């Protein structure tokens, strides 16, 4: 059996390190001559208001430019960078600001590279099997070759977020929500493994210059790791990337299912690793947020340590889509800052698409349209506090918390774009967290 080749290279110098990783993996072997190439970076979030910890959250502009130069050296002139940034799809200013700040305008001027917000472009419906239809950006579908540039990060729902998961960003909003279905046969762990199946040949280059634990966003913990992983087989790259971060592919539903779909083992036995060894670069990255649960509360451990009682904030599950998830951290932060030492009135908070209320709670907050539609007639709810938006509006969330007796600070919700700035203090003044990796000169 011919083994898939995955290269591991330590990042040591601009361009040369990326070139070495791609060449060791023979990454362009499946790329046609004069191909139309689509580059998919990971820009999971953007704020126009503040600098925020981009390290480990966004693909470095350094790696994007190095890939562009390498493609140009291989005679490729038709190159498009495409991403659909999480947020309001009607917001055109934020993606434009992200692309400009990250240097994509400069890449256009230097190399003729195009860059697109996928929400500005058409989508095509693709049947990925088992009656599941998702809408993909037409540019990636009609390209000849894809360069998939995820960040190496762990993820609180999927354990890791690497090359396969990164492809979720080329779908429309409806399809992203569909991928978080409460139906087990159609849920996140079954939809996402199939995302590469209907796409052109893919070269995956995992950007681990900065890696992230407890991702996928800016509230995770960033490490300067200086690792690049490359393969012309995205699943193989992801399995090696997972092992580097200390997680077995067989224990990661997305990777285990992707391997099963392809009749492949999930133990790396059909993968040849070249360059650095996994053991030489491996570093355990936590992915989960620990919870404390008893008769008095159900909250993340940091909130339990603060002494919070009377609150039952159930742990998220895989059905909570990206748009509600983007508010989850804000709600928990607001609750933590609102604690004054007096127990709340047995308030339960439900998220996602499949949770049901616990009998005996006095107030039940239903976060998001899906949770409201599921439980609006549930007889176990004494006092319903619905938040009906999709995604929920910050002002509506604030009103719901106040109704539940949680005196959340309005400033957190009025200045939501400032929130990422709070996490910058972890990295201020540390030279290894270098802004220049997200600039193009």
pLDDT grade for 424, boundaries at 50, 70 and 90? confident
In the chain, % of residues over pLDDT 70: 100
**Phi and psi at residue 151, in whole multiples of 5°?**
-85, 150
- pLDDT confidence of residue 50: 81
pLDDT grade for 144, boundaries at 50, 70 and 90? very high
pLDDT grade for 403, boundaries at 50, 70 and 90? very high
Terminal alpha carbon distance of the chain: 45
- pLDDT confidence of residue 308: 97
- Looking at the structure, tell me whether residues 50 and 87 fall in a common domain: yes
Separation in Å, CA 68 to CA 52, 63, 210, 304, 406: 25, 9, 20, 48, 50
335 pLDDT more than 90 = yes
Residue with tokens 């991928």: 179
375 pLDDT more than 90 = yes
Q: Is residue 252 part of a domain?
A: yes
Q: What is the pLDDT of residues 60-106, one digit of tens each?
A: 999 999 999 999 999 999 999 999 987 777 788 999 999 999 999 99
pLDDT grade for 326, boundaries at 50, 70 and 90? confident
> Where is the domain boundary, 232, 266, 287?
287
Mean pLDDT of the chain: 95
Q: Is residue 150 part of a domain?
A: yes
- pLDDT confidence of residue 38: 98
Q: Is residue 439 part of a domain?
A: no
398 pLDDT more than 90 = yes
Q: Is residue 429 part of a domain?
A: no
Q: What is the pLDDT of residues 118-131, one digit of tens each?
A: 999 999 999 998 88
> Where is the domain boundary, 287, 302, 328?
287
- Looking at the structure, tell me whether residues 221 and 148 fall in a common domain: yes
Q: Is residue 103 part of a domain?
A: yes
Please tell me the distance from the alpha carbon of residue 388 to that of residue 171, in angstroms, as a whole number.
Answer: 24
- Looking at the structure, tell me whether residues 108 and 54 fall in a common domain: yes
Judged by phi (left if over 0) then psi (alpha if -120 to 50, else beta), residue 193 lies in alpha
- Looking at the structure, tell me whether residues 280 and 307 fall in a common domain: no
Query: Residue 28 has which token pair?
Result: 């362009």
392 is in which domain, residue-wise?
291-422
- Looking at the structure, tell me whether residues 297 and 365 fall in a common domain: yes
Residues in the chain: 441
Structural domains of the chain, count: 2
pLDDT grade for 434, boundaries at 50, 70 and 90? very high
Half-sphere exposure of 43 (CA within 13 A, CB side): 30
- Looking at the structure, tell me whether residues 279 and 311 fall in a common domain: no
Least confident range from 47-56, 227-236, 259-268, 361-370: namely 47-56
- Looking at the structure, tell me whether residues 236 and 177 fall in a common domain: yes
We report the CATH number of the domain holding residue 163 as: 3.40.50.11440
Q: What is the pLDDT of residues 342-358, one digit of tens each?
A: 999 999 999 999 999 99
- Looking at the structure, tell me whether residues 21 and 48 fall in a common domain: yes
> Where is the domain boundary, 287, 318, 345?
287
């Amino acid at each position: 059996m011919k083994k898939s080749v995955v290269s591991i290279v330590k990042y040591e110098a601009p361009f040369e390190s990326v070139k070495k990783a791609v060449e060791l993996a023979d990454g362009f072997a499946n790329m046609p001559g004069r191909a139309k190439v689509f580059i998919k970076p990971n820009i999971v979030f953007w704020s126009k208001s503040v600098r925020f910890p981009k390290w480990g959250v966004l693909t470095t502009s350094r790696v994007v430019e190095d890939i562009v130069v390498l493609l140009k050296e291989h005679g490729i002139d038709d190159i498009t960078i495409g991403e659909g940034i999480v947020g309001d799809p009607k917001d055109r200013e934020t993606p434009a600001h992200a692309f400009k700040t990250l240097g994509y305008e400069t890449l256009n001027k230097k190399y003729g590279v195009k860059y697109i917000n996928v929400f500005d472009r058409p989508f095509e419906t693709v049947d990925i099997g088992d009656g599941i239809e998702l809408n993909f950006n037409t540019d990636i579908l009609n390209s000849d070759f894809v360069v998939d540039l995820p960040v190496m990060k762990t993820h609180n729902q999927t354990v890791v977020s690497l090359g396969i998961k990164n492809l979720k960003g080329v779908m429309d909003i409806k399809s992203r929500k569909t991928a978080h279905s409460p139906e087990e046969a159609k849920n996140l762990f079954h939809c996402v493994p199939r995302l590469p199946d209907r796409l052109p040949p893919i070269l995956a280059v995992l950007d681990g210059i900065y890696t992230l634990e407890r991702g996928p966003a800016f509230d995770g913990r960033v490490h300067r790791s200086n690792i690049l992983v490359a393969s012309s087989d995205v699943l193989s790259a992801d399995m090696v990337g997972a092992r580097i971060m200390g997680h077995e592919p067989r224990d990661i539903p997305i990777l285990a299912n992707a391997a099963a779909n392809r009749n492949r083992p999930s133990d790396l036995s059909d993968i040849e690793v070249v360059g650095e060894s996994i053991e030489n670069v491996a570093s355990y990255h936590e992915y989960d947020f620990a919870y404390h649960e008893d008769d008095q509360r159900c909250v993340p451990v940091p909130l339990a340590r603060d002494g919070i009682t009377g609150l039952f904030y159930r742990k998220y599950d895989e059905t909570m889509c990206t748009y509600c998830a983007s508010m989850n951290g804000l709600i928990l932060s607001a609750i933590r800052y609102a604690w004054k030492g007096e127990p709340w009135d047995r308030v339960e908070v439900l998220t996602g698409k499949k949770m049901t209320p616990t009998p005996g709670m006095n107030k039940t907050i239903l976060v998001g349209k899906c949770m409201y539609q599921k439980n609006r007639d549930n007889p176990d709810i004494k006092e319903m506090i619905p938040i009906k938006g999709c995604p929920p509006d910050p002002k509506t969330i604030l009103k719901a918390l106040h109704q539940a007796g949680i005196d959340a600070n309005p400033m957190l919700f009025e200045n939501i774009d400032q929130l990422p700035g709070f996490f910058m203090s972890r990295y201020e003044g540390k030279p290894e967290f270098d802004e220049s990796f997200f600039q193009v000169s």
